[in-house]
Amino acid sequence: MTAADWLQRWQEGRIGFHREMPHPALERHWPRLGLDAGAKILVPLCGKSRDMRWLVQRGNPVLGVELSPLAIEQFVAEGDQPALRYRRSGFECTRQGSVELWCGDFFHFQVDEAAELTGFYDRAALIALPPATRQRYAHHLAQLLLPGKRGLLVTLTHDDPERGPPFSVPHEEVRALMAPNFELTLCEVSEARDGLTESVWQLVRRGPPL
Ligand SMILES: C[S@@+](CC[C@H](N)C(=O)[O-])C[C@H]1O[C@@H](n2cnc3c(N)ncnc32)[C@H](O)[C@@H]1O
C-alpha cells in the first residue's frame, strides 16, 4: 500500500481496522509498563484510534502520527474539546485536549521532536506495513526512543504471508526486527476474528546498538 492508497481508503471509508471501543489488550497490559501519569506516548500510524482517548483518560498525553488529514478531522469531530491547529517541522498538527496529532509520514517524524516521549503504543502500525518497510519502521521507532523507554506492540498472524494489510508478522520476524534494540516480552497470544491470531508484546528500549 502506498501513501495514496491509504488516503484513498480513508476517502472511501474503508477502515475496517478501526475499533469503536478501546483495544482490550491495552486495558489488560498497559499497567504492566509502569509508566507514570503524565508520561507522553507516541502512537505511530494512529488513524483515529479510540485507544488514544483511553490513554489520555489514564493520564498519558498522546502524540499520534497519521498520514490522512481525514482521519485526524474525524478524530477531532468525535471529541468534544476545541482543536488548535499549527505547523511544526513540516507537519500539520492538531491538538485537542491532551492529544496532539501530527499529519504526515511517520518516517519524516524526527528524533528532535521525540525527546519528551516516554512510551509508545503500536496497534496495527507494524502489521500495516509491507515486509520491506517493516525493518525501516523498527529502526525508526528505536531511533526515536531513548534507552529505558517502553511500549506495547500488538501484532497479528494469519495463514497467507502475501495478504495484507493486515500483514501476518510471525513471532520470529517480530523478534528479528525488534530484539536488536528492544527487550521483548510476549504478554499474550489470543485468537481474534477471521482466523487471525493476535499477539501482545511489551518492548523496552535497550542501549546501543541501532
Ligand atoms: C491499519 S491502520 C491502523 C490505525 C490505528 N493504529 C488503529 O489501530 O486504528 C494504519 C494507519 O496508518 C496510516 N499510515 C500508513 N502509512 C503511514 C505512514 N508512513 N505515516 C503515517 N501514517 C501512516 C494509515 O493512513 C492508517 O490510518
Q: Please check whether residue 91 lies inside any domain of the structure.
A: yes
Q: Please check whether residue 156 lies inside any domain of the structure.
A: yes
The whole domain housing 195 covers: 3-12+23-205
CATH of the domain at 122: 3.40.50.150
Can you tell me which residue has the cell 520491506? 132
Looking at the structure of the chain, the number of domains it has is 1
Which residues surround ligand 1 with Cβ inside 6 Å? Answer: 6, 17-18, 45-47, 49, 65-68, 71, 105-107, 123-125, 128, 165
Is the confidence at residue 92, as pLDDT, over 80? Answer: yes
pLDDT given at position 161: 86
Q: What is the pLDDT of residues 11-64, one digit of tens each?
A: 999 999 999 999 999 999 999 999 999 999 999 999 999 999 999 999 999 999
- Measured from the Cα of 105, ligand 1's closest atom is 20
Is the confidence at residue 174, as pLDDT, over 80? Answer: yes
Q: Please check whether residue 17 lies inside any domain of the structure.
A: no
Q: Please check whether residue 141 lies inside any domain of the structure.
A: yes
Q: How far is CA 179 from its chain centroid? A: 18
Q: Please check whether residue 140 lies inside any domain of the structure.
A: yes
- Measured from the Cα of 65, ligand 1's closest atom is 21
Burial class (CB in 10 A: 0-12, 13-18, 19+), 112: exposed
State the Cα angle at 143 between 141 and 147, rounded to 5°: 100
Is the confidence at residue 210, as pLDDT, over 80? Answer: no
Cβ pair 115, 149 in contact under 8 A: no
Q: How far is CA 129 from its chain centroid? A: 12
Q: Please check whether residue 160 lies inside any domain of the structure.
A: yes
